[in-house]
Structure 1
């Protein structure tokens, strides 16, 4: 979710985000997480502060708080996060199936915090993409829609959709849909921007919250979209877009993003 600073009902926006995370459990209940951005740009990665154990973690990076767990979203989400959610300009959520343990015995649920030449990125992937490797490539891009599309075309398999944020620009979200994985984008009547792995979830949000969508679209396969706060009214706007041809189609499923 990318929050409009002019929104008069921030609570409704937060309710919608939590509902989207809960609905995403149909894609998997083994891991889940949420990244809440403070809106403060950073220029270098800082050592995170917080807690980490076998069940998950709650870590505060410079400009971002990431809470993840090896459980369903409804169990990872905690009411004490609501005050931060109500004011966060940008939020990423992720759910997925439990994956096999790696050799070192540790696996973090998404969203993933990936370092780069600068501040790095935070991202969530839906599909069979090697998420961390793709995010590392995107973290070191010089910028611009053409460069992002070229990287996505080379690295993102067909069965994938991706959402990520450059920590140096926490007022912008980058969205990409390869193929065979849906990615819907919607704007409500107060100009808040939402994205989700399934358009049905947006209809459920409309029925059960005060949010009313002005428009909702399914991104075309092979689409990169960058949106951010700006313009004379400070509200979310589309800042750039480009098309790309996805790499060889991948197999398997990883997660759902919201």
Structure 2
């Protein structure tokens, strides 16, 4: 998330591309980037597509966001001609995929996902008016259990990520968000942006899947799956980080542009809301692959803070899980 008052916006862009390349160690099945313009989308307004798409790559412009995806590595998907748009994007989401659920050969399963809003998927009561979300997920969750709990429209792809964001797109407030996050069973680190509030980013770490949040000296905010990547960014770019913090399991943050009264004319990315929940993992989720690419010290530090419940499949083939 870009600070509007950064003196060197191109430095943050260099960091974004470097982080995308470093993320290849966690997946090379497909990759993508979503560059948001910061322009709100009116609820109910259909996204229009103009660009190109085939079975290997796509470059599609929706209202308020340009999404570029492709099969293979991030470094093969990213193109230099996108840099001017990236330099001016208030928010940019990148993703690399290692396919756990859903075919790696269809771009409907590649992230960042563009998930429509609407009446289906809301937690309860009157459904919200939502234009949907732009989102990415690192992990593997029980999609059938989530669909059984929340009403959802038919999916576009076949991943476990899409139902998570269909449910989140139907949330009216922070309490609804926590209800959805607490219902996830499996590994999940999530980032999403409501298309009707493109000035805010939502970050959540449920069980296990790592999520690091960093701030550089120009007040730009970043997130990634490995703390080592930020040290590598400092070695390969001009960006220097003021902090890089691994989120604990069960953490939800809403980040947006804000400032204290004395600084209202120079807003910067700040934590606007914070909440906690108890995440739930399956017995087999604790696997060394969770910390792929981590140094031994970083992995040990994160393991020492794990605080999830463990669920086991209930008797019968119901798809339901019981917490042990």
Q: Normalization by structure 2: what TM-score? A: 0.73
Alignment check: 8 A CA contact 1:101 1:107 kept = no
Shift in CA distance, 245/7, structure 1 to aligned 2, threshold 3 Å: same
1:151-170, aligned counterparts within 5 Å?
Answer: 151-154=180-183, 156-170=184-198
Distance 1:191 1:63 in 2: 23
Shift in CA distance, 248/34, structure 1 to aligned 2, threshold 3 Å: same
Shift in CA distance, 27/106, structure 1 to aligned 2, threshold 3 Å: closer
Q: Normalization by structure 1: what TM-score? A: 0.91
Distance 1:15 1:107 in 2: 27
Deviating 4+ runs (over 6 angstroms): none
Distance 1:105 1:244 in 2: 34
Alignment check: 8 A CA contact 1:178 1:223 kept = yes
Aligned CA-pair RMSD:
2.1
Larger Rg: 2
Which residue of structure 2 lines up, in the alignment, with residue 29 of structure 1?
28
1:8-87, aligned counterparts within 5 Å?
Answer: 8-43=7-42, 44-87=45-88
Alignment check: 8 A CA contact 1:56 1:108 kept = no
Task: Give the secondary structure class of the aligned counterpart of 1:245.
Answer: coil
Give the number of the structure with larger relative contact order, counting CA–CA contacts within 8 Å between residues 6 or more apart: 1
Worse-matched range after superposition: 65-74 or 122-131: 122-131
Unaligned runs of 5+ in 1: none
Unaligned runs of 5+ in 2: 119-129, 142-159, 293-324
TM-superposed CA distance for 1:47, in Å, is 2.6
Which residue of structure 1 lines up, in the alignment, with residue 97 of structure 2?
96
Alignment check: 8 A CA contact 1:69 1:108 kept = no
Distance 1:13 1:139 in 2: 28
Residues 1:234 and 2:267 are matched in the alignment: yes
Alignment check: 8 A CA contact 2:57 2:107 kept = no
Which residue of structure 2 lines up, in the alignment, with residue 121 of structure 1?
133
Q: Deviations over 1:182-215 (max 9, x none)?
A: 1000111111000001111011011111111111
Which residue of structure 2 lines up, in the alignment, with residue 141 of structure 1?
171
Task: Give the secondary structure class of the aligned counterpart of 1:180.
Answer: coil
Shift in CA distance, 214/26, structure 1 to aligned 2, threshold 3 Å: same
Pick from 214, 227, 230 the counterpart of residue 199 of structure 1: 227
